[in-house]
């Protein structure tokens, strides 16, 4: 049966079920295409090389082997670093200065796997930066035959970079002098169970820190037997919240499957919003940048709280608002030489980390901020959460354009009862922030499903709930019962 690669190679990465969509043959074809689109052109006159890592999924080693075959047949050397987090692979790509491939499907179920591809220096490979060409060429190879092998095959070597990755992160945030903290970490049976002992503990031979780590689900298991490794889903945080309270811990950390995202829980068991973390970490990076005599820039996507630009602008930073999606954030990070970037999805990006996202480094900043002062995390976080948000609400609608038109008619054409600002950077954003009552909302269509995603924020809860309910009533006006997603 012919595999249509457009079904698994999307705008940002490769992801599909194994083996019906994503087989070793598919991985080999993608490897051969990646060699020709990225690895060989980037090598110039030097020796072409690609670094490859994988998460804990059972299908990983076989797919990595096939992908490596496609590369070596094209004359590209392969460096295998074995089990790692996605940000561990970004570190390897940045430190070694070569393109990279991370085999992971993040929090997707066990039958899935995928690849996150990067150019040398951890620069992203997305639809507009080479992935479309990789997909087209891989499809040719899959439908016909792989091209003739290079005169000299690439060599395969293995390296363990876990300790180097941990030491690099510790060099960016000093946790040695803070007050002792008890930290519950829920790895969700994902790669956090591999990286946390190495970075925050002594598992990779690094010195002991003033942290007592209480582990939850550190056993690597790609079937995710305890809960889905997606910390943005509230039900996946329940075990961590209970453990933080039961252990009298200072903080809880939850990582997703490939450990590039991190969610934070305070000592009372309450979630700390990613926007608050963006503001907290952003202010630390801004202060460091200003101390070095540089003018800092921070990137945030359009769904983060208005508190983020409020705090960072007041601290002397230039803030740049961008659309949702890691490839857009990374592009803006590089374009503006931004010191930091944050998203509502708990992705955090650092110039000091090759402009790439790393949940571990963000977690270390939060631990440092908490340990450097005497107050509990709930009090620290409250400073950065002055507004009330709805969170992302999905609605399954039969006619997305019609639902959007109803919202535009009510809030733009009729001005929503007061002066509003409107932009379409990513979906529809309507803002009444310049006058009272203060509120804004964003309505975005899903790229893959007939869904509209609503985010609302206001200066107080009553206004947020009113705007939320009014917009949802317009969006869902033609729904039948059970259509809410």
Q: For the segment 427-467, what is each residue's pLDDT rounded down to a tens digit? A: 999 999 988 999 999 999 986 678 899 999 999 999 999 99
Nearest to 260 by CA among 84, 60, 55, 87: 87
Residues 113, 248: Cα–Cα separation, whole Å: 37
Residues 397, 447: Cα–Cα separation, whole Å: 14
Residues 316, 64: Cα–Cα separation, whole Å: 46
Handedness of CA 23, 28, 34, 37 (dihedral sign): negative
Q: What is the pLDDT of residue 327?
A: 75
Beta carbons of 210 and 181 less than 8 angstroms apart? yes
Q: For the segment 357-378, what is each residue's pLDDT rounded down to a tens digit? A: 999 999 999 999 999 999 999 9
The 3-state DSSP class for residue 186 equals strand
Whether 482 has a pLDDT exceeding 60, the answer reads no
Q: For the segment 42-63, what is each residue's pLDDT rounded down to a tens digit? A: 998 789 999 999 999 999 999 9
Q: What is the pLDDT of residue 481?
A: 44
Beta carbons of 418 and 432 less than 8 angstroms apart? yes
Q: For the segment 25-48, what is each residue's pLDDT rounded down to a tens digit? A: 999 999 999 999 999 999 987 899
- Binned at pLDDT 50, 70 and 90, residue 263 comes out as very high
pTM over 0.85: yes
What phi, psi does 128 have (nearest 5°)?
Answer: -95, 0
Q: What is the pLDDT of residue 349?
A: 97
| Averaged pLDDT, 392-398 | 93
| Averaged pLDDT, 256-269 | 97
Q: Which residues are catalytic?
A: 106
CA 8-12-17 angle, to 5 degrees, is 25
Whether 389 has a pLDDT exceeding 50, the answer reads yes
Residues 206, 184: Cα–Cα separation, whole Å: 20
- Binned at pLDDT 50, 70 and 90, residue 476 comes out as very high
- Binned at pLDDT 50, 70 and 90, residue 70 comes out as very high
Residues 191, 256: Cα–Cα separation, whole Å: 8
Residues 113, 66: Cα–Cα separation, whole Å: 14
Exposure string over 94-113, b if 16+ CB within 10 A, otherwise e: bbbebbbbbbbbbbbebbbb
Whether 240 has a pLDDT exceeding 90, the answer reads yes
Residues 397, 167: Cα–Cα separation, whole Å: 49
Mean predicted lDDT score pLDDT of the chain: 94
How large is the angle between the packed helices 24-34 and 132-143, nearest 10 degrees? 130
Residues near 138 by beta carbon (within 8 Å), at least 6 away in sequence: 5, 9, 26, 29, 30, 32, 33
| Averaged pLDDT, 146-170 | 97
Q: Is it true that the peptide bond before 398 is cis, omega within 30 degrees of 0?
A: no
Whether 337 has a pLDDT exceeding 90, the answer reads yes
């Amino acid at each position: 049966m012919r595999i249509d690669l457009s079904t698994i190679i999307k705008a940002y990465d490769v992801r599909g079920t194994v083996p019906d969509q994503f087989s070793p043959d598919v991985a080999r074809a993608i490897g051969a295409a990646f060699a020709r689109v990225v690895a060989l052109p980037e090598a110039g006159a030097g020796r072409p090389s690609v670094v490859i890592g994988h998460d804990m999924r059972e299908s990983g080693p076989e797919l990595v082997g096939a992908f490596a075959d496609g590369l070596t047949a094209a004359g590209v050397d392969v460096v295998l670093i074995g089990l790692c987090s996605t940000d561990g692979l970004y570190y390897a790509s940045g430190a070694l200065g070569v393109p990279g491939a991370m085999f992971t499907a993040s929090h997707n179920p066990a039958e899935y796997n995928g690849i996150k591809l990067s150019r040398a220096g951890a620069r992203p490979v997305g639809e507009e930066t080479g992935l479309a060409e990789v997909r087209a060429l891989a499809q040719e190879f899959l439908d016909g035959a792989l091209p003739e092998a290079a005169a000299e095959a690439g060599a395969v070597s293995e390296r363990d970079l876990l300790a180097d990755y941990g030491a690099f992160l510790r060099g960016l945030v000093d946790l040695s002098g803070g007050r002792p903290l008890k930290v519950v970490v829920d790895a969700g049976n994902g790669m956090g169970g591999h990286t946390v002992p190495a970075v925050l503990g002594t598992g990779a031979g690094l010195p002991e820190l003033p942290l007592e780590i209480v582990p939850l689900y550190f056993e690597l298991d790609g079937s995710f037997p305890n809960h889905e490794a997606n910390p943005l889903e509230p039900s996946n945080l329940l075990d961590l919240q209970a453990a933080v309270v039961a252990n009298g811990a200072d903080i809880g950390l939850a990582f997703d499957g490939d450990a590039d995202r991190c969610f934070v829980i305070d000592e009372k068991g309450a979630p700390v919003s990613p926007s608050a973390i963006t503001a907290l970490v952003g202010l630390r990076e801004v202060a460091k940048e200003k101390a070095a005599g540089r003018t800092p820039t921070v990137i945030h996507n359009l769904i983060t709280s208005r508190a983020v630009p409020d705090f960072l602008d007041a601290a002397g930073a230039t803030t740049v608002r961008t659309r949702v999606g890691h490839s857009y954030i990374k592009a803006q990070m590089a374009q503006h030489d931004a010191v930091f970037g944050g998203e509502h999805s708990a992705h955090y990006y650092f110039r000091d980390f090759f402009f790439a996202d790393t949940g571990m480094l963000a977690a270390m900043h939060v631990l440092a901020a908490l340990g450097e002062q005497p107050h509990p995390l709930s009090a620290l976080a409250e400073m950065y959460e002055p507004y009330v948000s709805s969170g992302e609400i999905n609605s399954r609608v039969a006619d997305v354009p019609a639902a959007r038109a109803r919202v535009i008619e009510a809030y733009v054409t009729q001005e929503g009862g007061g002066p509003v600002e409107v932009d379409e950077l990513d979906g529809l954003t309507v803002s009444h922030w310049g006058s009272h009552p203060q509120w804004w909302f964003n309505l975005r269509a899903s790229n893959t499903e007939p869904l509209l995603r609503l985010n609302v924020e206001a200066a107080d809860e009553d206004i947020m709930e009113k705007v939320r309910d009014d917009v949802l009533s317009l969006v869902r006006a033609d729904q039948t019962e059970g259509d809410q997603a």
